[in-house]
Amino acid sequence: DAKTTQPNSMESNEEEPVHLPCNHSTISGTDYIHWYRQLPSQGPEYVIHGLTSNVNNRMASLAIAEDRKSSTLILHRATLRDAAVYYCILRDFRDDKIIFGKGTRLHILP
Amino acid sequence: KAGVTQTPRYLIKTRGQQVTLSCSPISGHRSVSWYQQTPGQGLQFLFEYFSETQRNKGNFPGRFSGRQFSNSRSEMNVSTLELGDSALYLCASSLATGQSETQYFGPGTRLLVL
C-alpha cells in the first residue's frame, strides 16, 4: 500500500490559516491524494482530493508539489470547529481501498 | 438527501456471541465499505461491497463477514466475539468504486464486548 507521513499534531490560532503537510515520496503517477478529517465523536468526512493540479473547494485548498512527493492541505481561516484529526490518503487505481494512517491532530486555540 | 445511517448506534455483547450491524447508504450509492476504529489500531479497512459483490477485503479473520443486498444496504457480521472486537464500526458509501470517488461515512456503531 502507498504510504503517507504526517506530523502527529499541530496547533493553530483561530481565524488564521493552517497548512497541514503530507509526504508521500513513493506515490505513483496514477495515485489520487485524498484528505479526510474526523471531528470528535463523528465518522470521518471528506475534505478534498486531487491528482496533479492544485484544487480548491468551499472547505479547503490542496496544494500538490510539482514532483507530487508531497502535498499541503490549506484551511484558509481556521475556526474552533476545524479541530479534528486530518488524514492524508493515497488511492491507487489497482487497489482503491482507503487505508488510513495515524493522521494529524489539529488543535485550534481561541 | 439523507446521509449514511447505521443501526444500532450502541451495542453491548458478551464474549462468544455474534453480532450483526446494519448500514443504509445514501440513496443512489452502490458501494459500501466497512471500517473498524480502535484507539490502538486507528481506522482499519474491513471490506468493500459493490453491486452485492465483495471487491476488497482487509486483513481481518474470517469471523468478520459482510454482505450487500440488491437495494445496496449492507450488513456486517462478527461471530464468536472477542474482547478485542470492542470498537467503533464505521460504514461509508460512495456512488461507485474507483480511486477518485468520495466516501461518505455514517456515525458508526459502538460495540462493547464484555
Task: State the residue for C-alpha cell 461509508.
Answer: B92
Residues in Cβ contact with A69 at an 8 Å cutoff, skipping those fewer than 6 apart: A23, A24, A25, A27
Going by C-alpha positions, the residue among A20, A5, A28, A6 that lies closest to residue A94 is A28
Residues in Cβ contact with A3 at an 8 Å cutoff, skipping those fewer than 6 apart: A24, A26, A90, A101
Tell me the pLDDT band of A2, cut-offs 50, 70 and 90.
low
**pLDDT for residue B1 is more than 80:** no
List residues of chain A with CB under 8 Å from any CB of chain B.
30-32, 36, 38, 42-46, 49, 51, 87, 91-93, 95-103
Tell me the pLDDT band of B6, cut-offs 50, 70 and 90.
very high
**For the segment A26-69, what is each residue's pLDDT rounded down to a tens digit?**
998 889 999 999 999 899 999 999 999 999 999 999 999 999 99
Mean pLDDT of B29-49: 94
**pLDDT for residue A95 is more than 90:** no
Contact A51 B100 (CB under 8 A): yes
Tally of residues, chain B: 114
pLDDT of residue A39: 95
DSSP one-letter code for B108: -
Percent above pLDDT 90 for chain B: 90
Mean pLDDT, rounded, of chain A: 93
pLDDT of residue B96: 85
Contact A97 B92 (CB under 8 A): no
Residue A78 C-alpha, separation from nearest chain B C-alpha, in angstroms: 23
**For the segment B58-107, what is each residue's pLDDT rounded down to a tens digit?**
999 999 999 999 999 999 999 999 999 999 999 999 998 888 889 999 99
Which residue of chain A comes nearest to B94, CA vs CA?
Answer: A46
**pLDDT for residue A13 is more than 80:** yes
List residues of chain B with CB under 8 Å from any CB of chain A.
4, 33, 35, 42-45, 48, 56, 58, 90, 92, 97-108
DSSP per residue over B33-76, as a string? EEEEEETTTEEEEEEEEETTEEEEE-S--TTEEEEE-TTS-EEE
DSSP one-letter code for B11: E
Backbone angles phi, psi at B21, to 5 degrees: -110, 145
Give one word for A96, left, alpha or beta, with left for phi > 0 and alpha for psi -120 to 50. Answer: alpha
Separation of alpha carbons A9 and A108, rounded Å: 11
Which residue of chain B comes nearest to A94, CA vs CA?
Answer: B99
Mean pLDDT, rounded, of chain B: 95
Output the CA torsion sign for A86, A3, B39, B110. positive
DSSP per residue over chain A, as a string? ----B--SEEEEETTS-EEEEEE-TT--TTPEEEEEEE-TTS--EEEEEESSS-EE-SS-EEEE-TTSSEEEEEESS--GGG-EEEEEEEE-SSS--------EEEEEE-
